[in-house]
Amino acid sequence: MPPIVNRYATPLVTGLFLVSLVSGVALFFHWGAAWFHGMHEWLSMVLILPFGLHVWKNWRPVVGYMKRAPLWIAMAASVALAGLFVLPVAGSSGGTGGRPPQFAFAERMMALDLDATAQALGVPVATLMQALPAPAGADGATSLAAIAEGAGMTSAQIMSVLLSTGP
């Protein structure tokens, strides 16, 4: 095994785990999501490499663990706990399809036509038509999703334009 792996695998796992721990706690309590979200996702992905090196470095002890029940009990418990977040719990999705409600709500808003959107935002349809890059022939019955598709924009970009038209 290369000396660099021996020297850095475990310290990198430890350092990146601590970053993941702190950023995960911050996200759980909704502290600084703008800072911690990308950090948590990307550095957790980076953690995969040092974790693999750590397992490689400690392969004999890992094989020893595989021969005993505690590893398999811990793995089964971890998978079961993860399953609680994957499986719908007694129909509690509330019509969101298991997604966070704000994303489900945003998707529903994108399906609305300009008339309904204008009414929901309390602005005239003409204001929305001016602000949005509506395709030729668009009218109050055109959905936000159709406008986004026609303009080559994402839902987030359309929503940003809508928010800037406020009442």
DSSP the chain: --HHHHHHHHHHHHHHHHHHHHHHHHHHTTSSHHHHHHHHHHHHHHTHHHHHHHHHHTHHHHHHHHTSHHHHHHHHHHHHHHHHHHS--TTTTTTSTTS-HHHHHHHHHHHSBHHHHHHHHTS-HHHHHHHTTPPTT--TT-BHHHHHHHHT--HHHHHHHHHTT--
Q: State which residues form the domain around 13.
A: 3-86
**Closest to 57 in 3D by CA, of 108, 10, 123, 17:** 10
C-alpha span between 110 and 132 (Å, rounded): 13
pLDDT higher than 90, residue 44: yes
**Mean of the per-residue pLDDT values for the chain?**
86
**Do residue 108 and residue 136 come from a single domain?**
yes
Any idea which residue has 């811990």 for tokens?
74
The per-residue pLDDT for 90 is 52
pLDDT at 33: 86
Q: Please check the confidence at residue 88 and state whether its pLDDT lies above 70.
A: no
Of 55, 86, 117, the domain-final residue: 86
Percent of the chain with pLDDT over 90: 38
* Mean pLDDT value across residues 101-125: 87
Residue 81 and residue 131 in one domain: no
Q: Pick the residue with more confidence: 85 or 113?
A: 113
pTM score, whole prediction = 0.54
Indicate if the pLDDT at residue 140 is higher than 60.
yes
Q: What is the pLDDT of residues 155-164, one digit of tens each?
A: 889 888 888 8
Q: Is the pLDDT of residue 93 over 60?
A: no
Residue where one domain finishes, among candidates 63, 86, 109: 86
Question: What is the pLDDT confidence band of residue 73, given thresholds at 50, 70 and 90?
Answer: very high
Per-residue pLDDT band at 94 (split at 50, 70, 90): low
Mean pLDDT to the nearest integer, 50-67: 93
Instruction: Over range 2-30, report the average pLDDT.
Output: 91
96 domain residue, yes or no: no
Please give the tally of structural domains in the chain: 2
Is residue 93 a part of any domain in this protein? no
Last residue of a domain, one of 86, 110, 128: 86
**Residues 7, 82 within the same domain:** yes
